[in-house]
Structure 1
């Protein structure tokens, strides 16, 4: 690992331009072409760039182009990432801070790496923060194995809007105390491995119906309401000494004296509120500056970077115009302003490089995921007791044709299964008892989680006319679209991982309990 000079030496070694370069965090992509890699190397070496944020590919970055361009999958993604990090470090005059969004592990960005459950699943766990600690530690170990120093996680947004298009399943839930408790445990585990953390998205992205990747969300709450709820986790974790906070792109007039300016560009929110009132001393990092909530409003190259820095961001994430941004900051900022941000980011670097990586081997997720599956399984309503003694049929709904849930049950019980809806109607008519396994194709609520309306209609019809038990392997908000009043039981397993399905099967068979509690309110 690269050695980093002490801050006391850095303040006299780096030129003012190099200090500004340290504030920039361009995006890097593991599936870049050689030409694109050379461009990033040139940027790093010529402008003393301080950090990089890794994404899978330019087609998928920050969801700006989601569904518009073909995403190329790379079976050797982890090896590619590791080699790129080494290559970019060699191009740097001063060691780079490498960052990534690994909320549920490197798998959030990198295929064929350990994947852990979404935050909403962790939110269902009761009185077992040790699992959150272990999760933070294990994800951090994977980050270190790759050469990543900074996990831009966890999300501490309060999940209080079921139609939130971008947060939802990424939040621990709607209870501010539990969100804070679980985030704190995750952070402690991450720190144990010597990896940096970042809480996001300040001042709180949970109660929005707009995706800030695509537009600017408006939150029309009073400052008192926000301090009581959305800002509660941020304040508590600031008091605990969190490394960094990500500024979201959110319009919150109550926090900006009536101004509709995005929070990431607001001095009133980042300096007056976050720095002065909430007493945050660490690094403020902007959410991605390419996101349409702000980028579409600033067409002059470098202008957005300057405005974000001037508002109070120390690190400019996903800056697409680093060269012009550096020039704009040098032109407009005072030396004192630059030195203050440089001091914060360099001290963060010193902390990141204190602990050497000892392994390049990725962790095995299976044991921890099994423990989380057991602790999160939730009975939403009713009881499955004695249902297995009935003559029932199993129906698969959604994206999984081969159900590990039904396969595990089939090891003890003999029953018929259907998944082809065109052929299932006749088969279903023969049974009074139906066990339904739902696998929503997506975790996001758009387009009914990509579950076809006719499938939801079928579930509702069966629930109204037959004895139905539902196991849901996905976002619990799916239940907002189901009529579950007449169902015998509904059980939420949250994830479709094989270990979650097998654990749910054991529950159905009566071999284990469901100690979890739904972390959000189902409106229906």
Structure 2
């Protein structure tokens, strides 16, 4: 691609309508029909769209699980992503910023691509922050090779609510200092390979039990509490320097005169708090405007887009009514505000399309993942000595949950396994990372585990979201060990830990509430 024009050059080449088109980040779907692809090409061509955000398909969480259109599943989604990036760039009047939620790598949206550990796992290994830097750097290189310029990450929400249905494992933890350190390293890693970042979801989506894809969450904290806690990572990282801040669809009465108004359309929150109080001068992007938390606010098409722009969002993500939104902003938006937002967007494009992007040699994936497994493994209850004594005697092994890969137990075949019904080694594989329906666990299985914990001598290893423990009497175990992921290297390291070859080095980055197993 030819060198990008600078802002002073480009601003004279585009009409006001073109500049408004640049404010929109349209949704692009990797698994889409040819008809839908052509429809998006026409939108890009005719309305000078500024950016695309790639999603897996129209039947996904990103579309509120309500996709009803035909899905043309691809045999190689990574190849199709690269093809679509080139195809959409080819029809664009100005180069498109290509974005994606790649919090744990392209694998968040694309099959058969490198999947890195969730943020909660990185939080457990924050004492080895160089590894988090390497994760950010590797994800950046994977994005670059796919044609993606902008990773809409990291999540810096403080996950203070264990029942949070949408953040949880996507957060580094529930302590503001930990999140700030981990996010800084992740951002540094991405920046080292020239990928844009975006901290989210301002002013903090951690303390809620509502998924904003489905309805509007309420953050019911005082202004002082918010500044001391939720806003702390945002303030620290804004002072450090970030490319963009994403506004969450959140009702935060303490920060807005209109107590019921979502942050997305709140001048008080976006301009009053983020711009003035925190001093952020970079690009502000809305969370996806198709999400039900805000998509039903206005009956007239284009009004949500106009209100979000007027509130201070520079870029409007996943609008369902782009053409109507462009018309509304052209008709009612202030020309100076349009120019300011366009300038912020173009400055990011200048950074993304730099020709002097550094080339940093990455840590190979197969080397990095075992390092993370080693540093994150957490001994939550019990001691190394207790596990050592446990394995001296015969014990039974049981696996619960998702059992496609039981590398952990398979690696212990040489140990003195017997049929001692009193001593049981349990490997727990929660099928889902989200808390809905007990993390995908069968309720009968959870009851069985609880019966064993309360009546037997149990050592428990958990290969998944540690919040599963809120449903288990884990405090009754001899020892509870958290591996966080079910990746093979994580299971292998856990097996070596059980056999006494390593000690657990990680630290639980969240607080597990008292077990509820009634």
C-alpha distance in 1 between matches for 2:390 and 2:269: 55
* Residues 194, 358 of structure 2: 8 Å contact kept: no
1:298-377 counterparts in 2 under 5 A? 298-355=298-355, 364-377=364-377
TM-score under structure 1 length normalisation: 0.94
Match for residue 453 of structure 1? 443
Residue 131 of structure 2 is aligned to residue 128 of structure 1: no
Structure 1 residue 74, shift from structure 2 partner: 3.5
Structure 1 residue 53, shift from structure 2 partner: 0.1
Q: Deviation string for 1:29-69 (max 9, x for gaps)? A: 00111110001110111110000000000111515016989
C-alpha distance in 2 between matches for 1:80 and 1:329: 34
C-alpha distance in 1 between matches for 2:70 and 2:472: 33
**Measured at CA, do residues 182 and 268 of structure 1 come closer, stay the same or move farther in structure 2, by a change above 3 Å?**
same
**Measured at CA, do residues 355 and 233 of structure 1 come closer, stay the same or move farther in structure 2, by a change above 3 Å?**
farther
Structure 1 residue 296, shift from structure 2 partner: 1.8
1:506 to 467, 481, 496: 496
**Measured at CA, do residues 358 and 244 of structure 1 come closer, stay the same or move farther in structure 2, by a change above 3 Å?**
closer
Q: Deviation string for 1:280-328 (max 9, x for gaps)? A: 0000000000000000222321111111111100000001111111110
TM-score under structure 2 length normalisation: 0.95
* Residues 192, 358 of structure 2: 8 Å contact kept: no
Match for residue 394 of structure 1? 397
**Measured at CA, do residues 294 and 363 of structure 1 come closer, stay the same or move farther in structure 2, by a change above 3 Å?**
farther
* Residues 75, 112 of structure 1: 8 Å contact kept: no
Match for residue 523 of structure 1? 513
Match for residue 482 of structure 1? 472
Structure 1 residue 385, shift from structure 2 partner: 1.6
Q: Deviation string for 1:160-204 (max 9, x for gaps)? A: 000000001000001100100100000011001000000000000
* Residues 51, 96 of structure 2: 8 Å contact kept: yes
1:1-80 counterparts in 2 under 5 A? 1-62=1-62, 64-65=64-65, 74-80=74-80
**Measured at CA, do residues 72 and 474 of structure 1 come closer, stay the same or move farther in structure 2, by a change above 3 Å?**
farther
* Residues 60, 71 of structure 1: 8 Å contact kept: no
Match for residue 463 of structure 2? 473
Residue 266 of structure 2 is aligned to residue 276 of structure 1: no
* Residues 391, 431 of structure 1: 8 Å contact kept: no
Deviates more, 1:64-73 or 1:493-502: 64-73
* Residues 125, 376 of structure 1: 8 Å contact kept: yes
- Unaligned ranges ≥5, structure 2: none
C-alpha distance in 2 between matches for 1:296 and 1:390: 61
C-alpha distance in 2 between matches for 1:407 and 1:452: 23
Match for residue 117 of structure 2? 117
**Measured at CA, do residues 496 and 342 of structure 1 come closer, stay the same or move farther in structure 2, by a change above 3 Å?**
same
C-alpha distance in 2 between matches for 1:338 and 1:8: 15
C-alpha distance in 1 between matches for 2:355 and 2:400: 47
Q: Deviation string for 1:338-391 (max 9, x for gaps)? A: 0010111100110011147799x9985221111111000000100312222211
Structure 1 residue 332, shift from structure 2 partner: 0.2
**Measured at CA, do residues 66 and 492 of structure 1 come closer, stay the same or move farther in structure 2, by a change above 3 Å?**
farther
* Residues 51, 98 of structure 2: 8 Å contact kept: yes
Match for residue 407 of structure 2? 404
Residue 172 of structure 2 is aligned to residue 169 of structure 1: no
C-alpha distance in 2 between matches for 1:369 and 1:25: 33
**Measured at CA, do residues 127 and 363 of structure 1 come closer, stay the same or move farther in structure 2, by a change above 3 Å?**
closer
Structure 2 counterpart SS, 1:127 = helix
Match for residue 285 of structure 2? 285
C-alpha distance in 1 between matches for 2:189 and 2:288: 26
Which 4+ stretches in 1 moved above 4 angstroms? Answer: 66-73, 355-359, 361-364
C-alpha distance in 2 between matches for 1:246 and 1:391: 54
**Measured at CA, do residues 506 and 135 of structure 1 come closer, stay the same or move farther in structure 2, by a change above 3 Å?**
same
* Residues 97, 150 of structure 2: 8 Å contact kept: yes
Structure 1 residue 453, shift from structure 2 partner: 1.2
Residue 435 of structure 2 is aligned to residue 432 of structure 1: no
Structure 1 residue 513, shift from structure 2 partner: 1.3
Match for residue 432 of structure 2? 442
Match for residue 422 of structure 1? none
C-alpha distance in 2 between matches for 1:379 and 1:237: 31
